[in-house]
Amino acid sequence: METLLNDFSVGLFFWQTILFVVLLFLLRKFAWKPILNAVNEREDSIQEALDSAKEAKLEMAKLKSNNEDLLNEARAERDAMLKEARTMKDSIVSEAKVSANEEADKIVAAARESIQHEKMAAITELKNQVAGLSIEIAERILKDELSSADKQKAIIDNVVKDINLN
Amino acid sequence: MQVKKLVRTLLLLLLVSPIAIFAQHGNEEHSSGNHEVKTEELSEADVKAAKRKAYIKHHLQDSYDFAIWHAKGIEFPLPVILFDEGLHIFSSSKFHHGESVAESKGNFYKIFHGKIYKTDAEGTIAMDDHHHPTNAKPLDFSITKNVFTIMLMSILIFFLFSRFAKSYKTSLVPSKGGKFLEPLIIFVRDEIAIPNIGEKHYKKYMSYLLTVFFFIWFLNLAGMTPLGIGVTNNIAVTFALALITFLITQLTSKKAYWGHIFWMPGVPVPMKFILAPIELLGVIIKPFALMIRLYANMTAGHIVIMSLIGLLYVFTNWFAKGAFLGLTLFLSIIELLVAFLQAYIFTMLTALYFGGAVAEHDDH
C-alpha cells in the first residue's frame, strides 16, 4: 500500500483527467452522437421497412382474397347465366313444339273441313244427276204408259177405283 | 487473404517481440553484470535475477523518456514540466537516463527510482532509515511516457471514431472499419447500458460509457506491445477513471438513490440504522474497487508474462525453454482477452452504478 501511494503520480493523474475529459467531450460531439444517431436512424428505418413490408403483405393477402371473391362471383354469375340460357332454350323449344303442333292441328282441321265441303258438293251434284236421270226415266216411262188410250183409261180406272173405296 | 496472413504474422511478431527485447537485454547484462560481481560479491545468478526483477519493474514503471528499444538506445526524450517556485520546462534528455543532474533556472533535479527529486548541484539524495529519500519533490506535471501514450491513443481513438462517424453521412451502412467498430458500440449500448441503466435514462450516459470502454480497451492493447506503455496498470490512471465514474454517479443520482443509502426501504427500522453506514461506505468502496480491479489485473498480467519471458533465460534446458515459450504465447493470448474483458467489466460496473443512481422505484 505504501509503495502504491508512493508510486501515485499526481502529474499522471492530472494529465489523465484532463485528457480523458477532453477526449470525452470531443468524442461526444464528433463521434458518439453522430454514430448513435445514425444507428438509431437506421434501426428505425429498418423497423419501418419491416412494418411496411408486413402491411404490404397484408394488403396483398387482402387483394388476393378480393380477387378470389371477384372470381367466385364471376364464376357464379356465369353459371347462373348458363343455367338461364339453358332454361330459356328449353322453354323456347317446348313453346315452339306446342305452337307447331297447334299449327299442324289447325292445318289438319282446315283440310278436313275442305274435304267435307268437297264431299258435300260432290254428293249434291250426284244427287242432282240422279234426280235428273230419274226424271228422264220417269218421263220416258210416262210417255210410254200414256202413248195409247187404253192404257190411259186403265190408269184412270185404277185411280178411280182407289178413290171409290175412300 | 494475403492481408489476413499479414495481420496474423504481425500479431504473432507482436506477441513474441517482448522475448526478443529481453534477449537483447540479457546479452547486455552479461557484459555489465561481471563488473558488479566483483564489487558486490554476489553470485552471477543473483545479480542476473536482481537485474531481471529490476527490468520488469522498470518496464511497468512510468518514465521520462519514450523508449522504443531500450537496449539499443532507440528512444526519444519527452518534456519535463515542474512547478517549483515557478514553472520549469526542459527536455528529459538533460537527465541522461537518470544518470546526471538536470539544472533549470538555478534549481537542480535528479531522477531516483523513477521520480524527480530536488537536489544540490552534485545530485545528493539523502535517505531516511527506511531507505526513502528525504529530498523535496517538486510538483511534477511532466509529459511522461504514460502521458504521451494517453495523448497518442486519445488522438488515435478520436481520429478513428470521428472518421467512422463521418462515413455515416454518405450511407447508413457502416463502412469497412465501421463494420468492426459498430457492433462494439451496439454491444456497449445493448448489453451494457440498456440492461443496467434502463431504456429511460441510458442515453445521457452513453458518451461516457463508450469513451471509457474504448479508452481502456485501446490502452490495454497498447500495453500489450513491447514498448512498455502499460498505462492502465498505473494506479493514477485508474484512480482518475474511477473518480470520474464516482462523480458522475453522485451528480446524476436521483432521490431514490440516497433514500436507498440512508433509509433502506423494506427492512425493519433497526436494520435501517445498521445499513446506512454500510451503504454509505459502499458509495466509496464501489469506485475504489473499480480502480483496484483494473490496476491489479493489468499489472498482474504484465508481471506474469514478463516473468515467464524471464524464465526463458533462466532455464538452459531446451525443453523448459520450449514449454515456457508456449506458455508465454498462451498467456499473451489470454491477456488479449483480458484487455477486452477488463474494459468490459469497468464499463459494465460503471453502468451498474449509474443504473443505481437513476433507479426510481423500490422494486427489489
Per-residue pLDDT, B42? 65
Q: What is the amino acid identity at position B26?
A: G
Q: How far apart are the first and last CA of chain A?
A: 196
Would you call A122 an interface residue with chain B, using a CB distance cutoff of 8 Å?
no
Tell me how far apart the alpha carbons of residues B240 and A12 are, in angstroms, rounded to a whole number: 9
Tell me how far apart the alpha carbons of residues A20 and A14 are, in angstroms, rounded to a whole number: 10
Domain span at residue B96 reads: 79-142
Distances (CA, A) of B235 to A6, B143, B316: 10, 17, 36
Residue B58, Cβ density class (10 Å: 0-12 exposed, 13-18 middle, ≥19 buried)? middle
pTM of the model: 0.71
Per-residue pLDDT, A24? 92
Would you call A16 an interface residue with chain B, using a CB distance cutoff of 8 Å?
yes
Residue B43 half-sphere exposure, CB side, CA atoms within 13 Å? 3
Could you read off the pLDDT of A101-116 as tens digits, one per residue?
Answer: 999 999 999 999 999 9
Neighbours of A165 (CB within 10 A): 6
Name residue, grid cell 427500522: B269
With cut-offs at 50, 70 and 90, classify the pLDDT of residue B239. very high
Do B160 and B109 fall into the same domain? no
Neighbours of B22 (CB within 10 A): 21
| Contact flag A26-B141 (C-beta cutoff 8 Å) | no
Do B108 and B151 fall into the same domain? no
Do B108 and B189 fall into the same domain? no
Per-residue pLDDT, A65? 93
Structural domain contains residue B166: yes
Chosen domain end from B142, B158, B191: B142
Do B137 and B181 fall into the same domain? no
| Contact flag B143-A15 (C-beta cutoff 8 Å) | yes
Average pLDDT over residues A142-154: 82
Cβ pairs bridging A and B (under 8 Å)? 122
Structural domain contains residue B184: yes
> Nearest CA to B141 among B100, B89, B76, B219?
B89
CB B52 within 8 A of CB B306: no
Per-residue pLDDT, B218? 93
> Nearest CA to B84 among B43, B134, B136, B120?
B136
Cβ-count burial B148-158 (b if 16+ within 10 Å, e if not)? bbbeebbeebb
Nearest-CA residue of chain B relative to A21? B244
Could you read off the pLDDT of B65-104 as tens digits, one per residue?
Answer: 787 776 677 778 888 888 777 788 888 777 777 677 777 7
With cut-offs at 50, 70 and 90, classify the pLDDT of residue B32. very low
Nearest-CA residue of chain B relative to A16? B237
CB B153 within 8 A of CB B215: yes
Q: Which three cell numbers stand for residue B137?
A: 519533490
Do B108 and B204 fall into the same domain? no
Q: Can you tell me whether residue B355 is helix, strand or coil?
A: helix
Would you call A42 an interface residue with chain B, using a CB distance cutoff of 8 Å?
yes
Structural domain contains residue B174: yes
Q: What is the DSSP annotation of B77-146?
A: E-EEEEESSSEEEEEGGGGTTTTS-EEETTEEEEEETTEEEEE-TT----B-TTS-B-S---EE----HH
Round the CA-based radius of gyration of chain B to a whole number and report it.
Answer: 25
Name residue, grid cell 244427287: A127
Nearest to A30 among B162, B236, B240 (CB): B162
Q: In the predicted model, is pLDDT for residue B297 greater than 50? A: yes
Neighbours of B227 (CB within 10 A): 19
Do B136 and B153 fall into the same domain? no
Do B110 and B159 fall into the same domain? no
Q: In the predicted model, is pLDDT for residue B1 greater than 70? A: no
| Contact flag A39-B185 (C-beta cutoff 8 Å) | yes
Per-residue pLDDT, B36? 40
Q: How far apart are the first and last CA of chain B?
A: 53
Would you call A87 an interface residue with chain B, using a CB distance cutoff of 8 Å?
no
Average pLDDT over residues B327-356: 91
Would you call A33 an interface residue with chain B, using a CB distance cutoff of 8 Å?
yes
Widest CA span of chain A, in angstroms?
208
Contact list in A for residue B151 (CB cut-off 8 A) is 19
Neighbours of A38 (CB within 10 A): 21
Q: In the predicted model, is pLDDT for residue B17 greater than 80? A: no
Nearest to A16 among B189, B207, B236 (CB): B236
Nearest-CA residue of chain A relative to B234? A8
Nearest to B186 among A23, A33, A39 (CB): A39
DSSP B203: G
Could you read off the pLDDT of A11-41 as tens digits, one per residue?
Answer: 888 989 999 999 999 999 998 998 888 888 8
Tell me how far apart the alpha carbons of residues B10 and B30 are, in angstroms, rounded to a whole number: 30
Lowest mean pLDDT among B38-42, B124-128, B190-194, B347-351: B38-42
Could you read off the pLDDT of B242-289 as tens digits, one per residue?
Answer: 999 999 999 988 888 888 888 777 778 888 888 888 888 988 999 999
Structural domain contains residue B39: no
Do B195 and B118 fall into the same domain? no
Do B122 and B104 fall into the same domain? yes
Q: In the predicted model, is pLDDT for residue B356 greater than 80? A: yes
| Contact flag B185-A13 (C-beta cutoff 8 Å) | no
- Highest-pLDDT range among A96-100, A150-154, B357-361: A96-100
Do B171 and B204 fall into the same domain? yes
Residue B28 half-sphere exposure, CB side, CA atoms within 13 Å? 14
- ipTM > 0.85 (yes/no): no
| Contact flag B240-A39 (C-beta cutoff 8 Å) | no
Round the CA-based radius of gyration of chain A to a whole number and report it.
Answer: 67
Chosen domain end from B112, B142, B172: B142
Could you read off the pLDDT of B162-173 as tens digits, one per residue?
Answer: 888 888 888 777
Average pLDDT over residues B21-36: 44
Please give the tally of structural domains in chain B.
2
Tell me how far apart the alpha carbons of residues B17 and B70 are, in angstroms, rounded to a whole number: 13
Would you call B150 an interface residue with chain A, using a CB distance cutoff of 8 Å?
yes
Would you call A1 an interface residue with chain B, using a CB distance cutoff of 8 Å?
no
Do B212 and B306 fall into the same domain? yes
Residue B98 half-sphere exposure, CB side, CA atoms within 13 Å? 13
Contact list in A for residue B234 (CB cut-off 8 A) is 7, 9, 12
Average pLDDT over residues B200-212: 91
Name residue, grid cell 539499443: B72
Tell me how far apart the alpha carbons of residues B114 and B57 are, in angstroms, rounded to a whole number: 10
Per-residue pLDDT, B9? 62
Query: B343: part of which helix (H) or strand (E)?
Result: helix B318-358
Lowest mean pLDDT among A41-50, B130-139, B206-215: B130-139
Per-residue pLDDT, A95? 94
Nearest-CA residue of chain B relative to A27? B158
- Highest-pLDDT range among A4-8, A93-97, A142-146: A93-97
Q: Where are the beta strands (DSSP E) in chain B?
A: 65-69, 74-77, 79-83, 87-91, 102-104, 107-112, 115-119, 139-140
Tell me how far apart the alpha carbons of residues B109 and B82 are, in angstroms, rounded to a whole number: 10
| Contact flag A19-B166 (C-beta cutoff 8 Å) | no
Q: Rounded to a whole number, what is the distance in Å from the CA of B177 to chain A's nearest CA?
A: 13
Could you read off the pLDDT of B39-60 as tens digits, one per residue?
Answer: 445 677 778 777 777 777 777 7
Do B104 and B239 fall into the same domain? no
Q: Which three cell numbers stand for residue B245?
A: 465514474
Neighbours of B107 (CB within 10 A): 16
Per-residue pLDDT, B301? 87
Structural domain contains residue B30: no
Distances (CA, A) of B104 to B63, B64, B91, B93, B107: 19, 16, 10, 13, 5
Would you call B208 an interface residue with chain A, using a CB distance cutoff of 8 Å?
yes
Phi first, then psi, for residue B83 (nearest 5°) are -110, 110
Dihedral, B143, B145, B151, B152 alpha carbons, nearest 10: 140
Structural domain contains residue B72: no
Per-residue pLDDT, A128? 93
Structural domain contains residue B32: no
Q: What is the amino acid identity at position B2?
A: Q
Per-residue pLDDT, B27? 44
Q: In the predicted model, is pLDDT for residue B38 greater than 60? A: no
Structural domain contains residue B162: yes
DSSP B176: T
Q: In the predicted model, is pLDDT for residue B25 greater than 80? A: no
Average pLDDT over residues B182-203: 90
Average pLDDT of chain B to the nearest whole number? 80
